[in-house]
Amino acid sequence: MRYQSPARAISLVGFMGTGKTTNGQRLAKQLGLQCVDTDDTVQRLAGKTIPEIFATDGEEAFRDLETRALSMALSGPRSVVGTGGGVVLRASNMEMMKSAGPVICLEARPETILARIPARNDRPLLQCADPAGRITQMLAERREAYAQADYTVQADYRDRSVVLGQMMRLLENDPRTTLMVDRRTRVHVKASNGEYRIHVEAGAFDRLARLCPPTAAGNPCVVVSSEAVAALYGEKVLGQLTCGGWRAHLVTVPNGEGAKTLQNASMLYDRFAEMGLDSGATVFALGGGVVGDLAGFAAATYRRGVRFAQLPTSLLAQVDASSGGKVAVNHPKGKNLIGTFYQPAGVVIDTASLQTLPERELRSGLAEVIKHAAIADAGMFAFLERELEAFCALDDIAVRYVLARNCQIKAGVVERDPYDRGARACLNYGHTVGHALERTSGDWELKHGEAVAIGMVAEARFALELGLCDEETVSRQEALIKRAGLPTHAEGVDIQQAREALRVDKKIASGRLRMPLVPRIGTVQILRDADIEALQGVLATVIGSGTA
């Protein structure tokens, strides 16, 4: 199943007295969302009660205020929106609600409605001699409008939990709301040697005892982590694993890319051997990409491969490294020069770990997220345009959606090309220019994601220059990258060095540069013989302090 971008709002419509307000509040509480009632907003906007608005300004003025209140609710934070009974009278209101998410119509028999309206009612439209007749008449008039809702739920029941249960079941099966209904999101990945699961949940590390049980009590495992991450989560993870029945050890490696050496892999072998780990042991990699690559390489090669589970704590590792099946250490002559392909037995992502991730790391990881969206999912791209701020504020639903969908995209590409022989090339979008910038900037001046962000800008412009895409495709990428707090040009990079770095790029097979480009947001195309000089020209527009 493909995760769809979560709805902004679940709207409840229905006749007065069907319980929109109460049921809306209960539903919002269940989903952990806020609940907005358009009638409340209308009264706040007008500074008077609804009967007063009807009395002094007339129904049309009320309907205008109602539309404004609805629009505010639908574009605000993710919520359950309760509406007035007459909101459906304007077709444009229904359209607005449906484009923001599922619309549920609560339906009740006239008798139920009549019984629920207090004797001294303040509903302007029922101020008449025969409320029962009026209800029946109005229900008939609005039947067609209510029928436009995505779902209809019977609300006659005295027991309100029946109504709530019905709504939850519908939402569970609606791809726009599954992520809201479930607190835990799972991605199933088909790897060359079987299937594994990526589990995404806020607080997942607090439930590791249950999420990752040993096959038998006393099974040995070792958690490999960096010093920094171990300080934050080492105790919790080790405690959970021990509590789950593992005989768990912790080994830390220094922080940073410098730890990805064969010497550290050798140190891990020594430690594994000292602990007497046999082929039944499991290695947990707790940390970012460096720890995942190093611990994964050691796991892949210790006793010809022991079980390996990833507990990635950086956004980059969560959306990219953890589902690539690549493990490696660096060599003085090249990054990841020593490595292999090794699939994890499982990945557990605790989204809460993003709260301790340095801001710059989070934004750097966003570059790969934007890349995945640009090459593979226009829907996610639009979601990011809409909800980037919610994601950066670590809104649970936005984060789970972005992580799950990114893992799906990455794993899907890897599944088609497990050994990196062709299809994976599309993942290099932004990386041709990005790598050239990385190689010419100092080690710490430009993070990988930042280089890729600038690379995407340059490569989008290159595609435009070749007539492969339109201006909007470029400007949307550039705008999103900027909003993500990522650079769109590299300062302090020597243009000549960068041009040269581009020329000797390893992806140039026998003089021909193959590079992926984005002809339309959400699609990718491999350009088989890119003109290096033309690309070098575009490179100049993203270097230095000016923009193109």
Site string for a second copy, 235-264 (x = CB under 8 A): ---------------------------x--
CA distance 204 to 200: 7
Nearer to a second copy, 262 or 394 (CB): 262
Sheet holding 525-530, edge to edge: 508-509, 512-517, 525-530
Q: Rg of the chain over CA atoms, in angstroms?
A: 28
Least CB distance to a second copy at residue 336 (A)? 8
Binding residue (CB under 8 A) for a second copy from 32, 258, 334, 492: 334
CA distance 235 to 195: 29
Packing angle of the helix pair 471-483, 378-392 (nearest 10 deg): 20
**Token match 């984060």: residue?**
399
Q: Which one of the spans 324-332, 475-483, 489-497, 515-523 is the region binding a second copy (CB under 8 A)?
A: 324-332
**Which amino acid, one-letter code, is at 438?**
E
Q: Which one of the spans 101-109, 223-231, 338-346, 468-476 is the region binding a second copy (CB under 8 A)?
A: 338-346
CA distance 25 to 11: 12
Q: In which region does residue 492 sit, left (phi positive, over 0), alpha (psi from -120 to 50) or beta (all else)?
A: left
Q: Which one of the spans 57-65, 202-210, 326-334, 481-489 is the region binding a second copy (CB under 8 A)?
A: 326-334
CA distance 296 to 299: 5
Could you count the other beta carbons within 10 Å of the beta carbon of residue 444?
8
Least CB distance to a second copy at residue 491 (A)? 32
Nearer to a second copy, 46 or 338 (CB): 338
Distances (CA, A) of 541 to 132, 333, 468: 72, 30, 18
∠ Cα 101 104 105 (to 5°): 145
- Beta-ladder partners of 18: none
CA distance 118 to 121: 5
Which 261-280 residues touch a second copy, going by CB under 8 A? 262, 266, 269-270, 273-274, 278
Least CB distance to a second copy at residue 447 (A)? 23
Residue 422 three-state SS: coil
Q: Residue 467 interacts with a second copy (CB under 8 A)?
A: no
Cβ neighbours for 541, distance < 8 A, ≥ 6 positions apart:
458, 461, 489, 547, 548
Nearer to a second copy, 301 or 488 (CB): 301
Q: Which one of the spans 120-128, 247-255, 297-305, 511-519 is the region binding a second copy (CB under 8 A)?
A: 297-305
Q: Which one of the spans 337-345, 346-354, 375-383, 474-482 is the region binding a second copy (CB under 8 A)?
A: 337-345
Q: Residue 417 interacts with a second copy (CB under 8 A)?
A: no
Binding residue (CB under 8 A) for a second copy from 331, 476, 483, 520: 331
Q: Residue 215 interacts with a second copy (CB under 8 A)?
A: no
Distances (CA, A) of 469 to 78, 382, 474, 548: 33, 18, 8, 17
Q: Residue 336 interacts with a second copy (CB under 8 A)?
A: yes
Q: Residue 383 interacts with a second copy (CB under 8 A)?
A: no
Site string for a second copy, 141-180 (x = CB under 8 A): ----------------------------------------
Nearer to a second copy, 351 or 432 (CB): 432
Binding residue (CB under 8 A) for a second copy from 333, 443, 467, 545: 333
Q: Residue 337 interacts with a second copy (CB under 8 A)?
A: yes
Least CB distance to a second copy at residue 338 (A)? 5
Closest CA to 480 of 376, 374, 398: 374
DSSP state letters, 128-174: SS-HHHHHHHHHHHHHHHHTTSSEEEE---S-HHHHHHHHHHHHHT-
Q: Residue 21 interacts with a second copy (CB under 8 A)?
A: no
Residue 287 three-state SS: strand
Site string for a second copy, 55-94 (x = CB under 8 A): ----------------------------------------
Q: Residue 304 interacts with a second copy (CB under 8 A)?
A: yes
Binding residue (CB under 8 A) for a second copy from 62, 205, 302, 391: 302
How many of the chain's residues bind a second copy (CB under 8 A)?
30
The phi and psi torsions of 509 (rounded to 5 degrees) equal -85, 120
Q: Residue 507 interacts with a second copy (CB under 8 A)?
A: no
Binding residue (CB under 8 A) for a second copy from 177, 178, 240, 301: 301
Q: In which region does residue 107 sit, left (phi positive, over 0), alpha (psi from -120 to 50) or beta (all else)?
A: beta
DSSP tag of 5: P
Residue 33 three-state SS: coil
Segment (H or E) for 432: helix 431-440
Q: Residue 506 interacts with a second copy (CB under 8 A)?
A: yes
Q: Residue 420 interacts with a second copy (CB under 8 A)?
A: yes
**Contact positions vs a second copy (CB under 8 A):** 193, 262, 266, 269-270, 273-274, 278, 297, 300-305, 326, 328, 331-334, 336-341, 419-420, 506
